[in-house]
Chain A
Amino acid sequence: MDTRLTQTNPAPAVLPASEHDPHGSHADHRLFGLATFLVADGMTFAGFFAAYLTFKAVNPLPEGSSYELELLLPSINTVLLLISSFTFHRAGVACRGGHLPRSQAWLLVTTALGAAFLAGQMVEYFSLPFGLRDNLFASTFYALTGFHGLHVTLGVICILVVCWQARPGGRITATSHFGLEAAELYWHFVDGIWVVLYGILDQADRSSGLIKTLFHQSTCRSVPAMGTISLSVFSFHGTGLSWHWRGTTQPRQVRRCWLVRLFWPRPDL
């Protein structure tokens, strides 16, 4: 028996809908999903940062153990990663402009920079005077940089895949390039995390005077403070990202706030 015929629904406040697509096809939200995932991923890092800062603030370095970081290598690595973000951006611009071979070239440059970063990281690991289990700070240092290194490795693999897909007749074209944009978003994220990581691990302890006092104050209260800071950093980052991909899916129709325009007059360059 078909109950559907006998049952009458109440007439709810339903308005006629004409413009709606009947089959549930919808805009591509995968980049939004990826960005949400990156916020989550960023919180993992935030947890590690909070742990490191708290350890630094409350746990003394045990007698006779050493925890001294290098300065030059991480700084070079920071520059490498920052440049690689820029080259990836160029790849994206080239791709959207229809110049796929040029895009591939930029992708290869980015890969090289990422690989150089990883190599630098390895050199640092083998030249540091402490190992994973030597003391609390050392363990946290390796956990943090190792976790980030995993992200970079994954990123490099993704870029290579994307580069392959951008070959003539490949999956990525000037109009359909989700893979490239996803990899780009991810790469900028990994890059941003590194900058924070570099600041906390390599710079925070060195800088003297006011910064140090301020920083020390905040590390003593680090857990609540870091919660707030990381939240605001990530929401800020998120706004930037949302602006970024809005620009990429609909080129030329970028709506940019005056603050961004002030610092970055022409994003297409």
Chain B
Amino acid sequence: MTVANPAELEQGLQPQGWLKYFSFSLDHKVIGIQYLVCGFLFYFIGGALAGVIRTELASPLSDFVSRDTYNEVLTLHGTIMIFLWIVPVVNGAFGNYLIPFYVGARDMAFPRLNAVAFWLIPPAGILLISSYFLAGAASQSGWTAYPPLSLTTPAAGQIVWILSVLLLGGSSIFGGINFIATVLKLRRPGLKMMQLPMFCWAMLGTSILVVLSTPVLAGTLILLSFDIIAHTGFFNPALGGNVVVYQHLFWFYSHPAVYIMVLPAFGLVSEILPVHARKPLFGYTTMVYSIMAIVVLGLIVWAHHMFTSGTPPWMRLFFTIATSFIAVPTGIKFFNWLATLWGGKIALNSAVLFSCAFIFNFVFGGITGVALAQVPFDIHVHDTYFVVAHFHYIVYGGSVFVIFASLYHWYPKFTGRLLNEDLGRAHFLLTFIGFNLCFAPQHWLGLNGMPRRVAEYDPAFTTWNQVSSVGALLMAISTLPLVINVVLTALAGPVAGDNPWRALTPEWLTTSPPPVENWAGEAPLVTEPYGYGEHPGAMDLSGLSGRDLWSTGKS
């Protein structure tokens, strides 16, 4: 039995023009853009909250906001950045926009489910943020919501937090199901798995993690809400409960969640680098196997977050070893990216600058990660600013840098216009300097014992905290060129043409922006998505030099 593509059937009913971005559209490209714009809005809110945190920490005393407010801000910041910015953007936005192109399909496998998954996000986000104003007190227990803290802080805010995380988790699971079905089942006839662009593999791996681990978080949060509402004692030691079980269940989701945030970014970088280096992606097969190895290993390392939770020695040993093993596939990917760049005709445009900075930051965060996996070291720095520095190097320096790189790379696809390179490079420089200024000193602070999640600290730490706050200010300023660039270009940017980067992956083999069904004619069968320079007749490289994009801003 075959089903007609619903997007096609309902095309007549779908609103056209800008209104479609506010509608229950079934077109995967519209949904992708919806995720992207919505994610950026939440990013700005989360960023403003980060500004509050860094302002407070610019001085040792709690003098900018009250301590309770500080805790609320910190919790909202973490939750928004993870569940409403990075996860929806690297998965939802780029995944939805690109995956159907990459598998040669006209849409995702379940377009209606796709739209439902997106439309769960704005209400959940608004619910979460409104708890700050309506419920009187937003959740104060951090993005981890550890009991008994989450049982003793104001209940209304915590319940709203749980509700919105459940909605977002549901959205994520629906998205994951859709990606798995699309990659495995919707491939164009004749297209083999090992011919897919790397982003497909990354999304497949991510979605497997989403489907296996997110439900565990949902179940855990349901039990937690029982503890709060019905006064059961699952996680309440006062009632005979067990807090460590919460931590196990929580990290069974939340360690895979860090890969849910970073694996798609790996995939996106693997798409961007070959195009701008004019070379095939190095080590395709090893890339695929390392993604899958990361998926498997990522599911069995969660207790490295719990080395100080009374974890028995055999468990510490197991999780240290398993965690250290993840460095192997991660290292393989790192060297593959370097080898892709090696000897290439690299166009140093904003997309590439952000991608290279990603490689740099990610290696740094990976090294501190492996250090944290060693029990003796972790006991010293657990719950200090060292951990904060580690995961910001990975989540911001990794995933967010890749989001920016992808924005520069695919903006011409989304809109048909090229972003301005000068503004792009200004954005890159400010972000890169601001980011490192903000987070590098936090390693030092953590090593010296400054605990995380506090509004006040020992005055001995003042100088480096102020440096860090200056860095945060630079990061805030760095969004200005980005916003200006995006708005000005959308209004009057240079027309990009269909394929400004002369790329070979299927999303470029159509108009920019693409028509509703992706290709006017038949979907192309691209068996060599990275065939740069490999097939002599495949493309004309004679007019290409490493500087052309750099100097003129267009091809």
Binding site for B on A (CB under 8 A): 1, 3-4, 6-7, 9-17, 19-20, 22-30, 32-33, 36-37, 39-48, 50-51, 54-55, 58-59, 62, 132-133, 135-136, 139-140, 143, 147, 175-176, 223-224, 227, 231, 249
Contact = CB atoms under 8 A, between A and B. Distances in A.
Contacts of B383: none
A12 B524 contact: yes
A205 to B, nearest CB: 18
B220 A47 contact: yes
B527 interface: yes
B215 A24 contact: no
Contacts of B113: 33
A171 to B, nearest CB: 14
A25 B9 CA distance: 10
A24 B105 contact: yes
B240 A62 contact: yes
B223 A40 contact: no
Contact of B189 (A3, A17, A36, A175): A17
A43 B212 CA distance: 6
Contacts of B509: 9, 12, 14
Given A9-B498, A12-B526, A23 B5 contact: yes
* Most interface-central of A59, A62, A175 (chain B CB within 10 A): A59
17 contacts: A7-B497, A12-B524, A12-B538, A14-B524, A20-B190, A24-B5, A26-B2, A26-B109, A26-B185, A26-B186, A27-B2, A29-B185, A32-B184, A43-B211, A45-B219, A136-B241, A139-B232
A48 B217 CA distance: 10
A39 B214 CA distance: 11
B539 A11 contact: yes
Contact of B177 (A33, A42, A51, A143): A33
B525 A15 contact: yes
Contacts of A27: 1-3, 185
A62 B537 CA distance: 78
A14 to B, nearest CB: 4
Given A26-B109, A36-B177, A47-B215, 12 more contacts: A1-B495, A12-B539, A13-B504, A19-B189, A25-B5, A27-B185, A29-B109, A29-B186, A32-B184, A46-B216, A140-B234, A143-B226
Interface string B293-307: 000000110000000
A28 B2 contact: yes
A146 B292 CA distance: 36
B232 to A, nearest CB: 4
Of A19, A24, A48, the most chain B CB neighbours within 10 A belong to A24
Question: Which of B109, B240, B508, B509 lies at the interface centre, i.e. has the most chain A CB atoms within 10 A of its CB?
Answer: B240
B19 interface: no
- What are the 4 closest A-B residue pairs judged by CB atoms, nearest first? A24-B106, A10-B539, A13-B528, A47-B216
A227 B255 CA distance: 14
Nearest to B170: A40
Contact of A24 (B8, B110, B216): B8
Interface residues of B, number: 81
Contact of B525 (A14, A23, A25): A14
Contacts of A223: 248, 252
A161 to B, nearest CB: 19
B498 A4 contact: yes
Contacts of A11: 537-539
Contacts of B181: 29, 32-33, 36
A132 B226 CA distance: 10
Given A25-B5, A136-B233, A136-B242, A12 B497 contact: no
A55 B527 CA distance: 52
B190 to A, nearest CB: 7
A23 B531 CA distance: 28
B223 A143 contact: yes
Contacts of B511: 4
Contact of A55 (B188, B242, B252): B242
Contact of B233 (A17, A29, A133): A133
A206 B98 CA distance: 54
Contacts of A13: 504, 526-528, 531, 535, 538
A54 to B, nearest CB: 5
A249 B215 contact: no
Interface stretch (B261-269, B335-343, B515-523): B515-523
A47 B173 contact: no
Contact of A132 (B213, B230, B416, B528): B230
Contacts of A133: 230-233, 239
Contact of B212 (A32, A33, A51, A231): A231
B214 A9 contact: no
Contact of A17 (B190, B220, B241, B502): B190
Contact of A3 (B299, B318, B495): B495
Contacts of A44: 215-216, 218-219
Contacts of A46: 216
Given A4-B511, A7-B497, A50-B249, A136 B177 contact: no
Contacts of A40: 173, 176-177, 211-212, 214-215
Contacts of A1: 495
Given A3-B497, A23-B517, A51-B223, A10 B188 contact: no
A248 B104 CA distance: 28
A13 to B, nearest CB: 4
Contacts of A51: 220, 223, 234, 245, 249
Contacts of B215: 40-44, 47
Given A36-B180, A133-B231, A54 B242 contact: yes
A60 to B, nearest CB: 8
Nearest to A135: B240
B492 interface: no
B107 interface: yes
Given A14-B524, A47-B219, A139 B3 contact: no
Interface string B515-555: 00100011111111001000101111000000000000000
A30 B527 contact: no
Contact of A10 (B109, B231, B234, B538): B538
B13 interface: no
A140 B219 CA distance: 12
Interface in B183-218: 184-186, 188-190, 211-216, 218
B91 to A, nearest CB: 15
B491 interface: no
Given A10-B504, A40-B215, A143-B226, A28 B3 contact: yes
A139 B226 contact: yes
Contact of A12 (B176, B498, B504, B522): B504
B110 A33 contact: yes
A4 to B, nearest CB: 5
Contacts of B173: 37, 40
Report which residue of A14, A42, A133 has the largest number of chain B beta carbons within 10 angstroms of its beta carbon.
Answer: A14
Given A12-B526, A27-B1, A58 B242 contact: yes
